[in-house]
Structure formats: C-alpha cells, structure tokens
Amino acid sequence: MTRVVLGSASAGRLKVLRQAGIDPLVVVSGVDEDRLIDGLGQDAAPGDVVGALAQAKAEQVAGELDAAVATDCVVIGCDSMLYLDGALCGKPESVEAARQLWQSMAGRSGQLYTGHCVIRLQDSDIVHREAQTSITTVHFGTPEPDDLEAYLAGGESLRVAGGFTLDGLGGWFIDGVDGDPSAVVGIGLPLTRALLRRAGVSIAALWADNAEPRR
C-alpha cells in the first residue's frame, strides 16, 4: 500500500486531491519560508524559489513521518507565488497589502508559479526525489470597489498566494487562465501525475490505496 502524504496546510490542495480520488494524509511542514527565500538571494529566478520551497517542505515532512507510513509512501510538497511587475507575491500580510495587490492586478495578467516536489519513501529510505515548477497565466478582472472591499473583509485574500483564489470567492474576479487551472488552485494534477509516474507510482494504484472512506 502506497500512502499519499500531502505536506501542506492548503485547503485548496487538499480539495483538488480529494476531488481527483486521493484522500491524503496531511502533514504540515514547519519550513521557515522567509529564511529560505532570503538564503536564495534577490536574483533567484521565480521558478527556483517556489521549487526550493516545495522541495524543502517535502523533505522536512519526509523526515518526520512515522515508520509505518514511511514504509511505502509518496510525499508531495507544493508552493505557489504570483509573479507580477518583476516581483514574487506570496500571501498578503494585511488587508491593506491585499488591497494594494488587487489594485495592481486589476485588469492585468500575472504568472502563477507553482512548485511541486514528489519524494518516494520505501522502508524509510528516499528512493526517488524530483521537483518541477508549472507556470500558469492568470487574467484578472477589475472588481467594483464595493465588491473588492467585501472580498477583502471576508479574509480569503490573506490565506492564499497572490491574494486570490480561482475556486473560491476570488473566482468571481478571474477572467481566465492560460495553463493548468488545478495548479492555480495549488497543485497541478498533470505535472503531479508525471512526477508520480517517474517515481514508479500509478494513479490507479493510488486511487486503490488512498480512497476516501465511505460514510
């Protein structure tokens, strides 16, 4: 039995996996994201930043699993950031920061970088590790001022990279995406499928081993 472990607290990533037939074990990493980003330096490419964050999260979780889980599992780590005006944007730190970000995004397009890392563990040993990044262009609408204030007041913008969602309340203000919509939610299924395949795991096997319990 190959257990899927999601190294993320993201409700969006969990929802994507569950809707795709995988009910993962969720183990949240304690990676200091700011410290890792600072260590990479200001000249680090956006894809390298999110890739390093995804790998760091997956590696930390892989090193903390119970032996029973680590006997046979795949750990998935992810990280997403919006690239706009030459800068990476993570989760806004305040409502005012989210407001300024939305005022910058409105009527424009940005690139959502999503890092993915898959680690395969067998008998507690890492037998495969690979990280890749997907890039999806997001086309933002222009919310009416009262709509934007109502959205900001709900708090969703503070919990997600770039201050927006595609699958939540923020979806009202997204005009379209070029690329993989699931990556915008938080975990790209096509890229993750390819990473799992190279780790020697099939989707059919994971469906069988990680089905959500019937109620």
Look up the CATH number of the domain holding residue 66.
Answer: 3.90.950.10
Domain limits for position 68? 3-210
Please check whether residue 159 lies inside any domain of the structure. yes
211, pLDDT greater than 70: yes
Residues in the chain: 215
Mean pLDDT of 58-81: 97
Mean pLDDT of 44-64: 96
Distances from the Cα of 74 to the Cα of 122, 136, 194, angstroms: 9, 25, 13
Give me the pLDDT at residue 8, please.
Answer: 93
Report the C-alpha gap between 208 and 78 in whole angstroms.
Answer: 23
Give me the pLDDT at residue 30, please.
Answer: 87
CB distance 54 to 74 below 8 Å: no
Please check whether residue 117 lies inside any domain of the structure. yes
Please check whether residue 61 lies inside any domain of the structure. yes
Percent above pLDDT 90 for the chain = 95
Please check whether residue 98 lies inside any domain of the structure. yes
Give me the pLDDT at residue 43, please.
Answer: 87
Residues catalogued as catalytic: 79
CB distance 115 to 55 below 8 Å: yes
Please check whether residue 215 lies inside any domain of the structure. no
Q: In 28-66, which positions are buried (b, 16+ CB within 10 angstroms) versus exposed (e)? A: ebebebeebbeeeeeeeebbbbbbbbbbbbbbbbbeebe
Please check whether residue 68 lies inside any domain of the structure. yes
What's the pLDDT tens digit per position in 96-119?
999 999 999 999 999 999 999 999
Mean pLDDT of 17-37: 94
Please check whether residue 15 lies inside any domain of the structure. yes
Give me the pLDDT at residue 215, please.
Answer: 65
The overall average pLDDT reported for the chain is: 96
Indicate the number of domains in the chain: 1
SS3 call for 173: helix
Please check whether residue 198 lies inside any domain of the structure. yes
Give me the pLDDT at residue 93, please.
Answer: 94
Write down the pTM of the prediction.
0.94
Distances from the Cα of 187 to the Cα of 17, 29, 166, 173, 175, angstroms: 8, 16, 12, 21, 20
